[in-house]
Structure 1
Amino acid sequence: MVRCTQSMFCQSYRGEDSLGSLAYSQRMSTYSAEIRRTTHGVAHIRAETLGSVAFGQGYACAADHLPTLADQILKVRSERARFFGRGENDCHINSDFGYLALGVREWGQRMLDTQPTEILELVSGYAAGVNRWLAENGTDSLPQWCRSADWIRPVSPLDLFTLYADVALMASGRNVVEMVGAAQPPDAEPVVGPAADQPIIPPDHPGSNGWGFGSEVTANGRGMVVANPHFPWRGDGRFWECHLTVPGELDVYGVSLIGTPLVQMGFNRHVAWTHTFSAGHRFCFFQIHPGSGPSSYRFGEETREMTSQAHRISVLDNGELSHLDRVLWRTHHGPMLDVPFLGWSAAGGFALGDSNDGNDRFLGQYLAINRATSVDELRTAVHQKQGLPWTNTVAADDHGEVWYADAATTPLLSEETGRRFEKAVDEDLVTALLFSQRVALLDGSDPASEWVGADGAPQPGRAPIGMLPELRTTRTAFNSNDPYWVPSPDERLDPAPTLCGLHGRALSPRTRMNATILAGRAPSGPSADGWTSEDAEAALLDNASLLAELLIDEVVRRATGVAVVTVDGREVELAEAVQLLTNWDRRFDLNSVGAIIWREFLASFPEAELRNGGSLWAEPFDPQRAIETPSGLHPAPLGGGHDPILTALGRAVLVLEAAEIAIDSPLGSVQFVERSGQRVPLHGANEVEGIANVVAPIGNFARSDLEPLEAEELPLIAGRTERTGIRRGGYSVTYGASFVAVMGFDERGPVAKGLLVYGQSGDSRSPHHVDQVEAFSSKSLRPMHFHDEDIAADPHCVSVTVTGSTD
């Protein structure tokens, strides 16, 4: 390993390779890459070919996250039960069978057989890099929970393609894989089904903020993007930061999900982009009505037979391996499900329809995005590939062009079926319940509920890109996980296909705050000459609460002079809480006193009321004034009856008392993350308060990894932990701001600052497991070095060249 020096690469261009697979395998037998690590362990990887730069990426990512990658490959190979036994509620057994039924291994094989040469080059190189690190370092130095584990083995390109099929299903099928694996007809021997206490996808989570600024609103007339995805802080849904350079062919900086090549969010020399989690539907549950037998079902005027397939897995039990067989069933819609509380009975069941099943396009999609030299090129790449699986996109370039789109792969319903579905969301209890968890429920017996075809669609039954919502502008665009129809403070989009998200519905407080920021009406905003990167950074980390700005003065006035309020039969004194809210700075900073009272006050109102009106707001939501409404505090009841506002304030005091938290505690003393044996205080808030900077103890996907927690979970507070994440002793953060980046351009090219908040390494013994969350705690973003001379000048820069082969 040597200190970094600036080096020059020959700027030659190699066109698209069209060699056949045999010539490819012979030519791509060896790899060489230079890896330069800079502050916080960021990996800058340079090589002469795509295969070699992916080799370096795989090698460097394995150094930071090999256990996570190996665990996920074990999962998609349906080998969890083989190494870890049945699992709680037979979770490993059901997962193993579920992935077999979803066919991810066959999907991976199809990609291996059919992907373009460049994609094969990338994936083969990545696998070789992972294997090279493993060969050099072994497993004896891994974290204790997986040290010397026999399930950590070399990976193949097929393993990686299988993993990427699972990534494509991150917003859909993977969330119900145990339901697929446990689904048995009513006349079959019962099996242990999945736990019923975890939502399919948590309401309004996972989230993100993405901002785009164009030439009309920036101080220098160039584009700027703020990336702020909210993803898990542990397990497989984490990002890893890197800079990839192949001279004349690729030069891109950003983050990728662990185990994946290329960059999924970031910037190159001319364009920056980010993603947010789409509020559209990537999958449907088709309600199945039984036919003449337990494995038949009605479809229109006919009765159809399900198809079955027998699967076998290995199960470790008391140190011995045995085989377990299970027959799983499929309708023409997709595999059957064992939905908690609803199940599969003689009265019917549910089948899965997944829009990303068979999406082989996403790797090529990201290679094209990484190479784009303008917003126009990036947009064209998305329109041509139609490969984005589950995200909105916000992009801007060095000329000041901005583009927003929800171009994620989406099922297409007929207009009539779409209207019926939207009506059912409002009127049918089961449809509404599943909709709250991002699942669209359709009648599987009605041919009219089938996904429909359209010219230009990437697959049958999917919406073609020309139908999906987008906005081109030179002002601002954003998304904060609400549906597409409000993409900027001053633009509204027309209705798109129904499953892109319901048009004209009330916005979340966080969406309203993001729009308020971009409109320049928040406490932190643009300079007199327009937005600068410093302005955007300050606005993102300002931690001001929109709902506090809108409501707190009226709440304080209502509660002033009220000595006590009765809550659940208890008399609660309000004076101290009122005084603390009066003096509160209306932010969720480390030293903010009163923030936790406001959080728990708001949490007494259901999500629908925070969005729409109800007993909190005086003026309900108005789609013609989407950002400004709801507004005003709901008036006190006539005649001095029960006041929901005062009751909510009293309940906030009781919740904090139950959690053994003093109501005058500064936020930073009770909101934290446990990392590497340290408790790091954190600013920010969750979905309740209406701020941009999200950190939270709740909101994750259901975990699909086996990594142990770093600290014992604190005791729950009944009826409230699921709302704000509060536990006895505080708010232990597990989710939220992950890749935080402000990406702009000047005359040299890209200029960016940011952090990978939870750190570059998954190993708690590494300094790069905790260093960036400490920087985030102090709001200290790091320069993201793109130019060679800046990388070489980094005070922590060290360089190593790694070589290897596919042999």
Structure 2
Amino acid sequence: MARRRFRARLPMAALTAVAVLSTLAASGPRVPEAAGLGPDKPTIRYTEYGIPHIIASDWAGLGTGYGYAVAKDNICTLADTYLMVNAQRSRYLGPDGKASPGERQNTTTNLNSDLYFQRMNDDRVVERLIDQPAPNGPEPEVKEAIRGYVQGYNRYLAETGVNNISDPACRGAAWVRPITELDVYRHAHAEIIMGTADVLLDGEVNAAPPGASAAPSAKAPSAKAPSPSPSPSPEETATKIRDALAVSRQQSMGSNALAVGSQGVSGGTGMLLANPHFPWQGKNRMWQSQLTIPGKANVSGASLLGFPAVNIGHNDDVAWTHTVATVAPFGLFDVQVDPLNPTKYLVDGTWQQMTSQQVGVDVRKPDGSLGQVTRTLWATRYGPITTSVLGNPLPWVVSAHAVRDVNMDNLRALNTWFHLDQAKDVNDVVNTLETTEGVPFFNTIATDRKGNALYADIQATPNITDAHAQSCLTMTGQLLFNQTLRLPNVPPVSIFDGKRSACDWPHDPNAVAPGLLDPHKQPRLIRSDFVGNANDSAWLANPAQPLSFPRVMGDTAAPRSLRTQELILTAQNRINGNDGLPGRGFTPENMRQLLFADNSRAADLALNATVSACQGAPFGLVLVDGNLVNVSEACPILAAWKDHDFTADSRGSWLFENYWFQLLGGQAIEKLPWRVPFDAKDPVHTPNSLDSGSSAVRDALARAVLALRNAGVPLNARLADIQKITRNGEQIPIHGAVSEVGVLNVVTPGLVDGKLDITFGSSFIQQVRFTAEGPPQTSSVLAYSQSANPNSPHYADQTKLFSAGQWVTERFTENDIAASPALEIKVLD
């Protein structure tokens, strides 16, 4: 069966230079004197779509230009973030509003968020990290860049004035203020720990011993014995947490990445496709820029808002990206408590007293006056006590559970990205990852001018070797660890025996910091054909060379997600010339085309069987959930959907997506009624052959048909008529689909402030090709555009490009920048 049939696509965006300054070099970061740039004047050159190219003579100047430009585009989002990390949301916005401290949107209340961050601020967590020498503290150049960033941000705010901010989200708001360097470090730290926040924050700030309340109180807990209460079994606890983690993972960040080496590139030495699936709203939006210090650095790409560096991008010699990894950045410790004094816990046969901490935050009352809420928060030698994981209770009765977060002491990530921005080849990338261990919960995929393709899952990983896990996991911990290992994309979470101090994460002398896994034990692979990742574990970065690693980093010999299969097959078929496109090997044109083909691996595997099941329904009728559903209309619609794509004009794709969700029903993909089960010897092609005679298939189709009819959605609706977002009154169709259907271009629709939007999905997409000589050839598109300000001209311009399947040809050389017909120059005197 042919995997795809390609049809004509919309033409790529062509940005034609109308003028070239002959005095400029063809490439290289030389300051163009014609632009009036001096050595001590940070300068921002804006080209098409508001992309800033920032040039300065030092790191402080570079930070100044970055801070000014990013504030101009997104000051309300940034000011809101600084409000959060300073624990002042309840003061200005009230305690009951929603906050987004982690990966996802609106996961907790303002009050809980404030208590979480105020505890860290009271403990001076970030200040202590700033004061440490590198690599655990920021390097001098990082400090210079952040110092400059603060100056640039504050300069923009001073020039504009709070009351004149064009974004209505914060115009005139009392919480918009000049920032300090500490604000920026606190924000960076919040981003680094966000992999833990959504999961455990509420449980930490609401934890109270038996007989006490988490409500505002400064009283010590009673010493009387707690009232008996039923505790869930280890099996129940493990299953509930496992299922919650799986659902959370589906609703949070992800990514695809493909690095191609010299053997897989047509007309070049190396190529990279970066396709992070990040949030479209809030503090985790990405923002595009080029940062240049002549003779020192020249890097282009995107970063999370407020990071004066490039997190995903390229320089003259290396291109890299990140994908969310299958490493849990936290672990739990089960501590036995004294039934008569449950704030005492047992370690090595000795009772120890938990530490208590009074944490208070200002809260705006309904009448506008201010009050204060104070809570007593508890901690052990391992970390804070939590009484829930994603809302699932961990009762504090016979024992309590403490949290250790591998990233709580991590500001090293700032150093990591500072060095990645200056890497010369993939070996430099590996060295940076090993010597900083700062990447918080990401894989790194890279390629270089020399023709090497790198996959590396070298990050801040808990030092949990297989032997340590075997020795120290509790009964619930064993169940949870093993169950999460069997779920694609879900990190294995540990619960260790806290009664034994030996079960704490040990210090490895080869690691950068205590409690970290030796970076040399973490997987990496360099090849000349390809490597890739789509959020599964490192096992099949390239199926020709499966990797092994400690189990804490993910599973092996287990089913891959459909998106992982799609990524691998896309790479293999293009390199072998088996995908219906001309020639063999990747070019910039076919790499872009393959991503926006929006092909569904689920449809490749299951559509024909689904059509057969539909056609086999007696008289076209299926009885499901007490409803007699006529599915006959769906059969020809699905049969006609031959391209298996989720492009804007596709008909049948929305019906198939709804059917597929009904069929999955929250199960892992291998649980579906396949005739050929998963085979670890053929993980890219199994499971396959859906059983068309299964009642589950017919029932799922009937439920999808019924749901669409009840919603008033035609079964043959174009995707563009259903999946769209509104920007300033204009509805923009969005192509792509959710991860579960195996489409690389992931988009996840949802409600944002009561309106349909994309909550997660393709964000900063970049394609880079290196040749033996000359500058890299790059195109990109920032799916949600540069600015969150509805009054900005760059609020939806790239969103419309993304909708049309078009890309921006990057302007990387000084020649290209000067030739932009949209060129605007801002010199920061």
> TM-score when scaled to structure 2?
0.85
State the AA in 1 paired with 2:65: G
Query: Per the alignment, do residues 793 and 626 of structure 1 end up closer, same or farther by CA in structure 2, a change over 3 Å counting?
Result: same
CA–CA distance in 2 between the matches of 1:425 and 1:203? 21
Tell me the equivalent position of 2:553: 500
Measure how far apart 1:401 and its partner are: 0.8
Change in Cα spacing, 1:533 to 1:359, as seen in structure 2 (3 Å) is: same
Q: Which residue of 2 aligns with 1:749?
A: 775
What is the rounded CA distance, in whole Å, between the counterparts of 1:259 and 1:69 in structure 2?
A: 7
- What is the CA-CA distance between 1:48 and the residue it aligns to? 0.6
Helix, strand or coil for the counterpart of 1:688? helix
Aligned to 2:740: 688
Alpha carbons of structure 1 residues 153 and 159: separation in structure 2 relative to 1, 3 Å: same
Counterparts in 2 of 1:286 and 1:710: CA distance versus 1, 3 Å:
closer
Matches within 5 A, 1:251-290: 251-290=298-337
How far does residue 178 in structure 1 lie from its aligned partner after superposition?
3.3
Aligned to 1:203: 249
2-side partners of 1:31 and 1:4: how far apart?
A: 25
User: What residue number does 2:385 align with?
Assistant: 336
- Partner in structure 2 of residue 428 of structure 1: 479
Q: Name which of 629, 633, 636 aligns with 1:572.
A: 629
Match of 2:587 among 512, 529, 532: 532
**Secondary structure of 1:145's partner?**
coil
Corresponding position of 1:100? 118
For residues 272 and 411 of structure 1, the distance between their equivalents in structure 2, rounded to whole angstroms, comes to 28
Quick check: 2:733–2:803 contact (8 Å CA) kept in 1?
A: yes
In the other structure, the counterpart of 2:56 is: 47
Match of 1:712 in 2: 754
Relative to structure 2, which stretch is displaced further, 587-596 or 137-146? 137-146
Q: Which residue of 1 aligns with 2:787?
A: 761
Query: 1:622 matched to which residue of 2?
Result: 679
Change in Cα spacing, 1:473 to 1:198, as seen in structure 2 (3 Å) is: closer
Work out whether 1:738 is the aligned partner of 2:763.
yes
Cα deviation, 1:774-799, whole Å, max 9, x if unaligned, reads: 10011110111101111111121111
> Residues 370-381 of structure 1 correspond to what in structure 2 (within 5 A)?
370-381=421-432
Give the match for residue 612 of structure 2: 557
Measure the CA separation in 2 of the matches of 1:34 and 1:490: 48
Q: Assess if the C-alpha contact under 8 Å between 1:94 and 1:180 holds in 2.
A: no
1:156 aligns with 2:191: no
User: Could you say which residue in structure 1 is the equivalent of 2:128?
Assistant: 110
2:372 match: 323
In structure 1, what is the Cα distance between the partners aligned to 2:295 and 2:719? 49
Structure 1 contact 605–616 (Cα < 8 Å) conserved = no
| More moved, 359-368 vs 524-533 | 524-533
Contact residue 187 and residue 294 of structure 1 kept, 8 A: no
Whole-angstrom distance in 2 between the partners of 1:11 and 1:627: 43
Q: Which residue identity is paired with 2:147?
A: S
Cα distance in structure 2, aligned partners of 1:581 and 1:97: 51
Q: 1:333, 1:351 within 8 Å by CA — same for their partners in 2?
A: yes
Once the two structures are superposed, what CA deviation does each residue of 1:325-345 show, in whole Å capped at 9, x if it has no partner?
222111111111131341543
Looking at structure 2, the residues matched to 435 and 165 of structure 1 have their Cα atoms a distance apart, in angstroms, of: 31
Aligned residues: 749
- The 5-angstrom pairing of residues 565-714 of structure 1 reads 565-584=622-641, 585-606=643-664, 609-612=667-670, 614-634=671-691, 636=693, 643-697=695-749, 712-713=754-755
Alignment gaps of 5+ in structure 2: 1-18, 31-38, 99-107, 133-137, 218-240
Given that residues 484 and 493 in structure 2 are in contact (C-alpha distance below 8 angstroms), is that contact kept between their aligned partners in structure 1?
A: no
1:455 aligns with 2:509: yes
Partner of 1:353: 404
Q: 3-state SS of the aligned residue for 1:519?
A: helix
Contact 1:126 1:261 in 2 (8 A): yes
CA shift at 1:8, angstroms?
6.0
Could you tell me which amino acid in structure 2 is paired with residue 144 of structure 1?
A: P
* Contact 1:102 1:335 survives alignment (8 Å): no
Alpha-carbon distance in structure 2 between the residues aligned to 1:476 and 1:98: 42
Query: 1:509 is matched with which residue?
Result: 562
Shift of 1:360: 2.6
Structure 1 residues 415 and 443, CA gap change in structure 2 (3 angstroms): same
Other structure's SS at 1:623 match: coil
Counterpart in the other structure of 1:705: none
Shifted more, 369-378 versus 516-525: the winner is 516-525
Is the Cα–Cα contact under 8 Å of residues 107 and 162 in structure 1 kept in the other structure? Answer: no
| Contact 1:425–1:435, Cα closer than 8 Å, also in 2 | no
CA distance in 1, matches of 2:54, 2:205: 40
Inter-partner Cα distance in structure 1 for 2:22 and 2:790: 32
Q: Structure 2 CA distance, aligned partners of 1:244 and 1:104?
A: 35
Sort the Cα spacing of 1:122 and 1:88 in 2 relative to 1 into closer, same or farther, 3 A: closer
Partner residue in 1 for 2:148 = 125
Q: Give me the whole-angstrom Cα distance separating, in 2, the residues matched to 1:33 and 1:168.
A: 28
Query: C-alpha distance in 2, partners of 1:242/1:75?
Result: 25
Partner SS for 1:749:
coil
Kept in 2: contact 1:517–1:525 (CA 8 A): no
Instruction: Tell me, yes or no, if the aligned pair for 1:123 and 1:261 is still in contact at 8 Å.
Output: yes
Q: CA deviation at 1:425?
A: 8.4
Q: Which residue of 2 aligns with 1:183?
A: 207
Rate the CA distance shift 1:682–1:440 in 2: closer, same or farther, 3 A.
Answer: same
C-alpha distance after superposition, 1:508-564 (max 9, x if no partner): 111111111011179857642421111111111111111211221122123214211
Of 78, 86, 102, the residue aligned with 2:87 is: 78
Q: SS state of the match for residue 60, structure 2?
A: helix
Q: TM-score scaled by structure 1?
A: 0.88
Q: 1:283 to 1:32 in 2, by over 3 A?
A: same
Instruction: Write the letter of the residue equivalent to 2:611.
Output: V
Pairing 1:404–2:455 present: yes
Letter in 1 for 2:655: I
Distance in 2, matches of 1:179 and 1:391, equals 25
Pair 1:354–1:737, CA change in 2 (3 A)? same
Correspondence for 1:136: 159
C-alpha distance in 1 between matches for 2:271 and 2:286: 21
Compared CA separation, residues 518 and 259, structure 1 to 2 (3 A): same
**Structure 1 residue 81, shift from structure 2 partner:** 1.4
Distance 2:684 2:335 in 1: 40
Once the 2 structures are TM-superposed, how far is the Cα of residue 11 of structure 1 from its aligned partner?
8.6
Contact 1:337 1:350 in 2 (8 A): yes
Q: Mind listing any 5+ residue stretches in structure 1 that lack a counterpart?
A: 14-29, 638-642, 699-708, 715-731
SS at match of 1:763: coil
Q: Partner of 1:717 in structure 2?
A: none
In 1, Cα distance between equivalents of 2:752 and 2:248:
23
Alpha carbons 1:291, 1:304 under 8 Å: kept: no
| SS at 2:731 equivalent | strand
Distance 1:688 1:742, change over 3 A: same
Measured in 2, the distance between the counterparts of 1:414 and 1:119 equals 33
Whole-angstrom distance in 2 between the partners of 1:587 and 1:247 = 45
Corresponding residue for residue 104 of structure 2: none
1:801 Cα deviation after fit: 0.3
Cα distance in 2 for residues equivalent to 1:12 and 1:798: 18
Output the CA distance in 2 between the equivalents of 1:467 and 1:40: 43
Cα distance, 1:59 vs. partner? 0.4
CA distance in 1 between counterparts of 2:361 and 2:405 reads: 24
| Aligned-partner Cα distance in 2 for 1:80–1:693 | 35
Instruction: Rate the CA distance shift 1:710–1:277 in 2: closer, same or farther, 3 A.
Output: closer
Displacement after TM superposition at 1:35 (Å):
0.4
Q: Percent of pairs identical after alignment? A: 30
Structure 1 stretch displaced more, 444-453 or 553-562: 444-453
Please say if residues 4 and 799 of structure 1, whose CA atoms lie closer than 8 Å, have aligned partners that are also in contact: no
Q: Is the 8 A contact 2:737 2:743 kept in 1?
A: yes
Return the alpha-carbon distance in structure 2 between the equivalents of residues 764 and 523 of structure 1: 44
CA drift at 1:713: 3.3
Say whether the 8 Å CA contact 1:619–1:632 is kept in structure 2.
Answer: yes
Q: Do structure 1's residue 58 and structure 2's residue 58 form an aligned pair?
A: no
The CA deviation string for residues 29-56 of structure 1, in whole angstroms up to 9 with x for no partner, is: x963110111110010011111101100
